[in-house]
């Protein structure tokens, strides 16, 4: 029974453990419980019971990989219809393998059902707990306790009063999956793109890292509302005291852009609640904007292309130049699994890539496409004085152990291009100086 309930359903992850990270914590116990239940059920019932255990196993792996708290993960199941899981060959292969191993385990349980009373429950439980302990030791699952609060907005003292007093527009970009590079040379591949925009004296560039908690909507709670949280915190009908609301009360135009469906995480409901006067999603741009229609980017999360939405954001910043604006742009295309960029500027597919790990190189190449689009916005001669803050939402959720070593755990990078020009209104206080690199 140890081989049937412990080795067989866990063998794929055990063999992959030296090369891939899949935090499973209590998953091995699911199969022991499934085997116990199957013994008291008709033979045919063993198959759906073990398939259910496999689905719970995969759900737990995904929950930890994408930084989803338990409550968020359960509620996220309601949005599965918007996700094209079949677009990822890796995901399809993993699901088929896990379901196949679950069916094999069920068949073995039925085949040796007469031997079940002879098995030692203590030995089976000990073996399963040993797999749990091995997973905890090797994969170092994320701590459940939240770190002390931190954010790029907080580090740079970008309060509503200071933003409004600066007279500058503010473009705030949250980048999907942009973690904190461990190697300064890797980080420089992005920062040097923005550094070029400082040469004429129009901008000053500062950068650093900040802690994070949760998934992408956790980044919105962190940066826009000043606390750890998620989209579930903003589902009430009352307004919430967040940065966009404070800015709108000071007369700024507050706008948001995102290239995915407005229904995902019910953003169309809670964005107005935190103060966005206008929110533009895939449905809006696909219907109303000549470009970026018909382009689509991404893989499982296929939406509009971030680099083309940047052009729409640029137009929004230039419209009505006498009105100060806060524009929030949430990117999409670097969501894991990703679709590599058509332009391999970093030579990821060559014998001399800028980053030796192919996955990290591909992602950095995609991020560099976005940063170049931001640089185009920054150098637009018709752009009113605009401060540009770029920050990652959460640590890059990578499966490969070798790829994960390229990022610092628990941190995301941020970059601030602060305009040196006079704003649309005379500043009543000097601009806050950005925090230096940490």
- Structure tokens, 348: 């990821």
- Structure tokens, 155: 């580090």
What is the per-residue pLDDT for 141? 62
- Is the peptide bond between 93 and the residue preceding it cis, with omega within 30 degrees of 0? no
Residues 224/328, Cβ–Cβ less than 8 Å: yes
Residue in the block written with tokens 């770190």: 147
Report the candidate in 347, 357, 356 with the shortest Cα–Cα distance to residue 401. 357
Terminal CA-CA length for the chain: 53
Residues 221/150, Cβ–Cβ less than 8 Å: no
- Is the peptide bond between 292 and the residue preceding it cis, with omega within 30 degrees of 0? yes
What is the per-residue pLDDT for 288? 66
- Structure tokens, 336: 């894991």
Residue in the block written with tokens 């994969």: 139
Residues 325/316, Cβ–Cβ less than 8 Å: yes
- Structure tokens, 117: 């009373």
- 33-69 burial, b if ≥16 CB within 10 A, otherwise e? ebbeebeeeeeeebbebbbebbebbbbbbbbbbbbbb
Q: What residue spans of 196-305 are helical by DSSP H?
A: 216-225, 243-249, 267-273, 282-288
What gap in Å lies between CA 106 and CA 118, rounded to an integer? 18
Report the candidate in 117, 206, 155 with the shortest Cα–Cα distance to residue 420. 206
Instruction: Give the CA angle between residues 267, 268, 271 to the nearest 5°.
Output: 65
Q: Phi first, then psi: what are they for 140, rounded to 5°?
A: 45, 70
Residues in the chain predicted with pLDDT less than 50, given as ranges, are 143, 426-438
pLDDT tens readout for residues 218-276: 999 999 999 999 999 999 889 999 999 999 999 999 999 999 999 999 999 999 999 99
Residues 356/403, Cβ–Cβ less than 8 Å: no
What is the per-residue pLDDT for 285? 86
CA distances from 100 to 50, 51, 63, 75, 92 (A): 10, 9, 22, 27, 12
Residues 435/206, Cβ–Cβ less than 8 Å: yes
- Structure tokens, 99: 């379901």
Strand partners, 203: 419
- Structure tokens, 425: 């209104």
What is the per-residue pLDDT for 423? 67
What gap in Å lies between CA 256 and CA 223, rounded to an integer? 14
- Structure tokens, 434: 């950005």
- Structure tokens, 424: 């649309």
What gap in Å lies between CA 230 and CA 331, rounded to an integer? 17
């Amino acid at each position: 029974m140890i081989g049937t309930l412990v080795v067989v359903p866990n063998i794929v992850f055990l063999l992959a453990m030296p090369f891939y990270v899949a935090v499973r914590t209590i998953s091995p116990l699911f199969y022991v419980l499934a085997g116990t239940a199957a013994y008291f059920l008709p033979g045919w019932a063993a198959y759906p019971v073990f398939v259910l255990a496999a689905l719970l196993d995969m759900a737990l792996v995904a929950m930890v990989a994408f930084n989803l708290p338990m409550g968020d993960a359960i509620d996220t199941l309601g949005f599965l219809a918007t996700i094209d899981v079949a677009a990822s060959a890796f995901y399809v292969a993993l699901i088929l393998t896990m379901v196949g191993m679950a069916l094999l385990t069920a068949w073995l349980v039925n085949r040796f059902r007469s031997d079940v009373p002879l098995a030692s429950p203590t030995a089976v439980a000990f073996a399963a707990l040993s797999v749990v302990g091995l997973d905890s030791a090797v994969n170092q699952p994320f701590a459940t306790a939240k770190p002390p609060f931190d954010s790029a907005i907080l580090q740079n003292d970008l309060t509503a009063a200071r933003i409004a007093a600066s007279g500058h527009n503010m473009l705030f970009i949250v980048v999907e999956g942009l973690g904190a590079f461990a190697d300064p040379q890797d980080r420089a591949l992005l920062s040097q793109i923005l550094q070029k925009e400082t040469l004429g004296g129009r901008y000053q560039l500062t950068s650093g890292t900040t802690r994070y908690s949760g998934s992408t909507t956790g980044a919105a709670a962190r940066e826009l509302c000043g606390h750890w949280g998620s989209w579930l915190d903003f589902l009430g009908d009352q307004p919430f005291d967040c940065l966009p609301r404070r800015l709108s009360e000071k007369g700024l135009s507050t706008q948001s852009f995102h290239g995915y469906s407005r229904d995902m995480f019910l953003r169309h409901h809670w964005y107005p609640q935190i103060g966005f006067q206008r929110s533009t999603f895939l449905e809006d741009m696909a219907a109303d904007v000549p470009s970026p229609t018909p382009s689509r980017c991404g893989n499982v999360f296929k939406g509009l292309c971030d680099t083309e939405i940047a052009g729409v954001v640029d137009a929004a910043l230039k419209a009505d130049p006498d009105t100060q604006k806060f524009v929030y742009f949430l990117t999409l295309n670097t969501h894991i699994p990703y679709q590599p960029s058509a332009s391999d500027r970093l030579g990821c597919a060559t014998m001399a890539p800028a980053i030796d790990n192919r996955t990290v190189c591909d992602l950095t190449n995609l991020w560099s496409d976005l940063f170049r689009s931001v640089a185009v916005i920054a150098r637009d001669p018709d752009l009113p004085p605009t401060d540009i803050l770029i920050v990652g939402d959460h640590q890059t959720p990578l499966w490969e152990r070798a790829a994960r070593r390229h990022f610092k755990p628990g941190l995301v990078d941020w970059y601030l291009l602060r305009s040196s020009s006079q704003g649309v209104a005379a500043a009543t206080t000097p601009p806050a100086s950005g925090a230096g690199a940490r």
